[in-house]
Structure 1
Amino acid sequence: MKVVEHLDLTLYNSYRIKAICKRAYFPDSENDIQTIYTSDDDVRKIVLGSGHNIILSKSTYDDYFIIFSGNFNRVTITGTEVVAEAGISMYDLSLHALAHELSGLELFYDIPSSLGGAVVMNAGASGEEIKDLLTKVRYYNPSSNQFADIQQDEMAFEYRNSFFQRNPHLIITKAWLSLKKGTKAAIKEKMEQNKATRWAKQPKEYPNAGSVFKRPKGFYVGALMDELQLKGYSIGGAKISEKHGGFIVNVNNATGDDILRIIKHAQDKVHERYGITLEVEQRII
């Protein structure tokens, strides 16, 4: 297990916010995770997957970060069953499925997330969600120092919500997915179509962390930003994307505070005009 003191987290969050943590662990096994949590250090520990869907609100953290990005990413495929560790990116996982002519993960080819993060958030788009592919998840509970498995129907999935979202102290280590047989040509075509659709709509040219807000019932966040003329609104190095109002982008060394202030401004304006409380989808650390 690699351990780094005073790690610069810039490359470990998709907003590319500069922040330093006291110590970073890069676990490679479940034993490593257990070792981290059973050490004598009484220091708060923060788990990062791929670093997407998060906002680092501080420039310095006196906390330990446990980083799954680039490690903890082994995959086993048997027939139509995929068993993967939580640190694998959804991009890489979709390529594994393609290589085995398995369909179901095409949508996630261009959804930036680790598998663990996708499960926590019940990631998805266009009516498809990760919950529809899951059969089981393994996790570690630091409180009891035990690993346990939970079945899909026990995870109480909702729109961008899950059992793990409601129990953030639990750490996903592995997931089982059930896919379907397909052909490489058809799977690849759907992957490229999904990617082209997303790139046409989303501000891929600047660092961002995806959709900032959950979609309120009966409304679209992008349309609300349009109507309120908030696209392009900026504070510091961050701004609401002109390409898609549901995104905040880092255009010039933005800080977490810049992003949070824009979020507050957008929430206030939407509530003032429509009486809607926009709920932040991203995890604020």
Structure 2
Amino acid sequence: MKIIENLDLTAYNSYRVASRCKRAFFPESEEDIRDILQEHGNGSIIMLGSGHNVILSKSFYDQDFMVFNGNFDSVKLIDDQTIHAQAGIDLLQLSEFALSKSLSGMEIFYDIPSSLGGAIVMNAGANGEDIHSLILNARYYDPNKDEFIELHSADISRGYRDSYFQQNPHLVITEATIKLSKGSASLIKMKMQTIKEQRWAKQPKDFPNAGSVFKRPAGYFVGAIMDELSLKGVSIGGAKVSEKHGGFIVNYNKASGEDIMALIEHIQQCVENKYGFRLNVEQRII
């Protein structure tokens, strides 16, 4: 297990916000996870996956981090339609592994930046598909019980961008089993490339960002709201509402976590003044 003191977290968050933590653990096994949480205190340790869909709101954390990024990412084929993967693997790697086995179902996730664990926590998805529809079960560690437990798919999902794990943030997902279907490798690859091209045409890729900032409110689209309120291009510090897609905030000029949070608050207030409801943040604020 790798341990780094005073870790620079800039490369570990997709906003590329400059931040540091007191110490970071990079576990390589379930026993590492147990040891970290039992020896160093579960309540004070912050979990960080691929760093996507995350806002680091502070420039320094006087806390330990447990990082799943470039580690804890093995994947294997169980049978001709089932994949078993550790939680640290990112969705790009996972979808490419599925492609190599001519398995269909992961195409929509090819260009969604997230670790598998983070995707399960947030129930990541797009175009009406979500990761929970593919999960057979997930294994996690409960530090309060000091037990590794397996949770079946019916008990994981809590609906749109929600999950059992999001409601129980002290739990640590370690691995999951995914059920896919046999397909044509050429057609799977074509769909993956088409999805990527469509997403890149709509989303800002020129500046660091963490994807869609807000959950879609019932009956509305966030992008349309931003257009109506003329919020595209509005900035605070180095953070700016993307001109390409109003649902994204980009780091265009060395933004701090405080800049991003202040811009979110400004957007929420504008929306509440106009529409009478408050936008809920989809991204995880640390």
TM-score bracket, normalised by the shorter chain, equals over 0.9
**In structure 1, how many angstroms separate the alpha carbons of the residues matched to 2:158 and 2:284?**
18
Q: SS of the counterpart of 2:218?
A: coil
The answer on whether the counterparts of 1:14 and 1:209 sit within 8 Å (CA) in structure 2 is: yes
1:178-227 superposed Cα distances (whole Å, 9 cap, x missing partner):
00000110000000010001000000111000000000001000110000
Counterpart for residue 141 of structure 1: 142
Counterpart for residue 110 of structure 1: 111
**In structure 2, how many angstroms separate the alpha carbons of the residues matched to 1:42 and 1:12?**
21
Counterpart for residue 180 of structure 1: 181
The percent identity for this pair of structures is 57
The answer on whether the counterparts of 1:135 and 1:151 sit within 8 Å (CA) in structure 2 is: yes
Counterpart for residue 267 of structure 2: 266
Q: SS of the counterpart of 2:138?
A: strand
Would you say 1:60 and 2:52 are equivalent positions? Answer: no
Would you say 1:233 and 2:226 are equivalent positions? Answer: no
Taking structure 1 as the reference length, the TM-score comes to: 0.99
Instruction: Name structure 2 gaps, 5 residues minimum.
Output: none
**In structure 1, how many angstroms separate the alpha carbons of the residues matched to 2:283 and 2:272?**
19
The answer on whether the counterparts of 2:72 and 2:89 sit within 8 Å (CA) in structure 1 is: yes
Would you say 1:250 and 2:251 are equivalent positions? Answer: yes
Residues 1:103 and 1:141: Cα distance change in structure 2 (over 3 Å): same
Give the alignment's Cα RMSD to 1 decimal: 0.9
Counterpart for residue 207 of structure 1: 208
1:58-83 superposed Cα distances (whole Å, 9 cap, x missing partner):
10101110000101001111210000
Deviation at 1:40, TM superposition (A): 5.0
The one-letter amino acid of 1:34's match is R
Counterpart for residue 44 of structure 1: 44
The count of corresponding residues between Structure 1 and Structure 2 is 285
Greater Cα shift, 252-261 or 41-50: 41-50
Deviation at 1:156, TM superposition (A): 3.4
The answer on whether the counterparts of 2:134 and 2:178 sit within 8 Å (CA) in structure 1 is: yes
Q: SS of the counterpart of 1:271?
A: helix
Q: SS of the counterpart of 1:4?
A: strand
Runs of 4+ in 1 over 6 A off after TM superposition: none
Counterpart for residue 126 of structure 1: 127
The one-letter amino acid of 1:99's match is S
1:124-152 superposed Cα distances (whole Å, 9 cap, x missing partner):
00000001101100000111111000000
The answer on whether the counterparts of 2:132 and 2:157 sit within 8 Å (CA) in structure 1 is: no
Counterpart for residue 35 of structure 1: 35
Residues 1:127 and 1:41: Cα distance change in structure 2 (over 3 Å): closer
Q: SS of the counterpart of 1:267?
A: helix
Deviation at 1:38, TM superposition (A): 1.5
Deviation at 1:276, TM superposition (A): 1.9
The one-letter amino acid of 2:47's match is V
The answer on whether the counterparts of 1:19 and 1:56 sit within 8 Å (CA) in structure 2 is: yes
**In structure 2, how many angstroms separate the alpha carbons of the residues matched to 1:210 and 1:28?**
28
Deviation at 1:262, TM superposition (A): 0.5
Q: SS of the counterpart of 1:281?
A: coil
The answer on whether the counterparts of 1:43 and 1:63 sit within 8 Å (CA) in structure 2 is: no
